[in-house]
Structure 1
């Protein structure tokens, strides 16, 4: 008992000494603050001060490329020289990259059709014309097969690119050959005229979608009821749908879970059951149900014009069409929804039939650093916010914006079915153009072109490129 009291006394003396030392070494304010703490708190604080803080691993120094020029090629002038906020932020990123890696960023404007030839010939001469090249849709296939591109998977260990985007840049092969920041969540869907649906007393596509009843059947039902003769001359002057047959075919195939081309197996796939079901449905829309307004000579321009004029109820198309084709031209209120589900689909699908990509030509020095430079030039943090801001300027209401942004997560991208640049769609379009006029059936038409479509794809994959798509 006496020994315990003696230990308490020694501890009290020790704590008092510590307090006196701390008070003498501190200013009045610090001294007062410490004096108001309990001995236990003071002891804890003192111990914390004596324990060294864990040291963070310093970031390794960036590679110094000695003032090297990093050329980035597009088929347009991509220099951020404008006065927009996006361009200003891009210039800031360029400045940081130039200082960090001791480089000079230069943008090249390479003519569209010349890009692939310029890349391949410069690689063959061991002098790549650019460090980073934006390749047009489809040109990547032949170049990757020919060994003209640098495999990138080993340089993407700590990438900020989403895993599904990285995987899509394999283009059905073993190696990652492309760089892409992101894919927009929903680029194509259905525009609809609110006035037409309201006057007919029908649920519009947005209501049907909320009820989980937006599919081919409900779309067809609406299209039939909205194809009417309003002026009594015996001919329909309002239609349920309008569009280009080559757009309809792609979107309907995707919405039924089908694909036009199988990247992994390098096989044309528009003769699959899901795809044929879509093509037969397209045939019926034109020839059996007659709910699609015929174009007057321009398959591309006419449908958007009809929709803007208020003579059709629904128009399938892409968000990028709004500016220039719909905005400031619409006479009625309108909205934007997903593509309707096909019978074989358990979710909504958005096709990714073609995509461009940034590549690094074979022979470019320091590809690992070039990948880092490319990534640090991208606006990974703000692309979703910028996309929403843009949509708020071009779309008419909150529901349409939410649909376009895929806020509910109900739209699934169709990866692994890209056909752009392979010559496949040219073959398919040649017969859809006939069967929408009733001149040929889908089964007969597809049988005629499936072989030539496969041959066209194989030609491109061998590195031979026709100047078509």
Structure 2
């Protein structure tokens, strides 16, 4: 009934509009030398702007209201009514609107140095060039401010106090969603950018989304989890190079396990392992295996998230995780990354599961002769899949002044891969530029780029309470054989789902 009443009101309003339009046309006919008039009529639902174009004889009536003012029009088509008369002319697509920000300074904040965001000189050059062009096009200036790493809490405190913090700022996407989105402190940017068309219909754009809405802008993706391996150990002990296994189509859990078994050594026979086949952070190892086998800790839909370790692919991944510790004994128990890195850097581990972008920070300073390859293929999948946990995301405050203009102006220079712009870099070239600073050889760089292309974003990091349960009650229990995989998963399923649900509550 509500839609019918709205429809009747609009039919009445439409009759008034038609009468006014006819009057306007007659008046325009008497003054043919004047421009076509624009008439604004106030109604109970907002301002209706009616424009009559003499050349094409096309009349358009559009409702201009804020989202809060719009009536419930579900099932009706009254947001825009277009009446067209016959014309021999072909209407062209409207030219891009070039608005004027009147010299406005847009404050952009991050806890990182500005140069660390584009990350390499090549990408920085493109970013600077695009920024200058956007500033000239829309008449604004970017003011970048490096701030403390407490940026998330600082923004929340400023927003709650009604104090402007920035026009755009960087935060980790797993921190922003749902912490900021739950509090309605972030601007939804879907209305201003088309994420179904270039340059924004790219896979990495999804990293700025949450529960069906777009909030943030991501750069092209760097490479996250893959397998590092110590080439000196592989060469001296006759282990097959991982690149060769991959090129032969034989890089999977079986060959991964075989290498790990052969690399695990007790050199002096004292019963203590001197060299491990594999080291990794336990939580990320479990998640990497799950993702490589086509699963994740959580299952995402536009409406909600579900605990997802009870599906067959995840169960197989968890069983393999348990077997690495208990059956094959190729990886040390309870070794977090600091200890794992020490083993790998000290030539006491042959392989390590770690993010590709961490090579420059973790491995290069230790002068490790390393290689890098994609995660091995799981038993239930036919393609290589990688794991990405997300990262820095550029977001906008919910109360941003002139949101459409600011979002479009910022996005104008942020899409470094936009093929319509002179001097752009393709997404693959951006990743290659980043990888060149991390990898030691061209073959490692190719693997870095493949990891970037095949990785899938996991939402696990968005739910820290769930992760704690998984770490303590599943991964720890199955690594020590305190529980079977099935029993461990069943024991926390309800608690984990409750932790997810609690995190989503606004």
Q: TM-score under structure 2 normalisation?
A: 0.70
Q: Distance in 1 between matches of 2:292 and 2:116?
A: 37
Q: Against the structure 1 CA distance between its residues 61 and 156, is the aligned structure 2 distance closer, same or farther, given a 3 Å change threshold?
A: closer
Unaligned runs of 5+ residues in structure 2 are 1-91, 418-423
Q: Against the structure 1 CA distance between its residues 66 and 192, is the aligned structure 2 distance closer, same or farther, given a 3 Å change threshold?
A: same
Contact 1:341 / 1:349 at 8 angstroms: preserved in 2?
Answer: yes
Cα distance per residue 1:289-323 (max 9 Å; x no partner): 1111356xx61112222222222221111112211
- Deviation of 1:87 after TM superposition, in Å, equals 4.8
Count of aligned pairs between the two proteins: 399
Cα distance per residue 1:317-352 (max 9 Å; x no partner): 111221132114245x43111100111111111112
Aligned to 1:230: 267
Q: Against the structure 1 CA distance between its residues 65 and 389, is the aligned structure 2 distance closer, same or farther, given a 3 Å change threshold?
A: closer
Aligned to 1:154: 191
- Deviation of 1:400 after TM superposition, in Å, equals 1.0
Q: Distance in 2 between matches of 1:109 and 1:452?
A: 40
Tell me which protein shows more strand as a share of its residues: 2
Residue 451 in 1 paired to residue 487 in 2? no
Aligned to 1:48: none
- Deviation of 1:255 after TM superposition, in Å, equals 0.7
Q: Distance in 2 between matches of 1:353 and 1:324?
A: 18
Q: Distance in 1 between matches of 2:120 and 2:327?
A: 53
- Deviation of 1:113 after TM superposition, in Å, equals 4.5
Contact 2:120 / 2:433 at 8 angstroms: preserved in 1?
Answer: no
Greater C-alpha Rg: 1
SS at match of 1:181: coil
Q: Distance in 2 between matches of 1:77 and 1:166?
A: 22
Q: Against the structure 1 CA distance between its residues 77 and 451, is the aligned structure 2 distance closer, same or farther, given a 3 Å change threshold?
A: farther
Q: Distance in 1 between matches of 2:218 and 2:235?
A: 42
SS at match of 1:155: coil
- Deviation of 1:209 after TM superposition, in Å, equals 1.0
SS at match of 1:104: strand
Q: Distance in 2 between matches of 1:293 and 1:330?
A: 23
Aligned to 2:328: 289
Residue 271 in 1 paired to residue 310 in 2? yes
Contact 1:255 / 1:349 at 8 angstroms: preserved in 2?
Answer: yes
Match of 1:327 among 355, 364, 378: 364
Cα distance per residue 1:211-262 (max 9 Å; x no partner): 1111111111221122222233343322211122112111111111111111
Q: Distance in 1 between matches of 2:96 and 2:290?
A: 49
Contact 1:80 / 1:90 at 8 angstroms: preserved in 2?
Answer: no
Residue 438 in 1 paired to residue 481 in 2? yes
Residue 182 in 1 paired to residue 220 in 2? yes
Match of 1:419 among 460, 467, 476: 460
Q: TM-score under structure 1 normalisation?
A: 0.75
Q: Distance in 2 between matches of 1:255 and 1:86?
A: 30
Q: Distance in 2 between matches of 1:374 and 1:361?
A: 13
Cα distance per residue 1:96-116 (max 9 Å; x no partner): 333332223223445445525
Q: Against the structure 1 CA distance between its residues 386 and 325, is the aligned structure 2 distance closer, same or farther, given a 3 Å change threshold?
A: same
Contact 1:80 / 1:88 at 8 angstroms: preserved in 2?
Answer: no
Contact 1:305 / 1:325 at 8 angstroms: preserved in 2?
Answer: no
Where do 1:312-391 residues align within 5 Å?
312-331=349-368, 333-378=369-414, 379-380=416-417, 381-382=424-425, 384-391=428-435
SS at match of 1:400: helix
Cα distance per residue 1:389-431 (max 9 Å; x no partner): 4433432222111111129x9x62324x412232222221123
SS at match of 2:177: helix
Match of 1:403 among 447, 455, 458: 447
Q: Against the structure 1 CA distance between its residues 251 and 72, is the aligned structure 2 distance closer, same or farther, given a 3 Å change threshold?
A: same
Q: Against the structure 1 CA distance between its residues 329 and 356, is the aligned structure 2 distance closer, same or farther, given a 3 Å change threshold?
A: closer
Contact 1:142 / 1:462 at 8 angstroms: preserved in 2?
Answer: no
SS at match of 2:267: coil
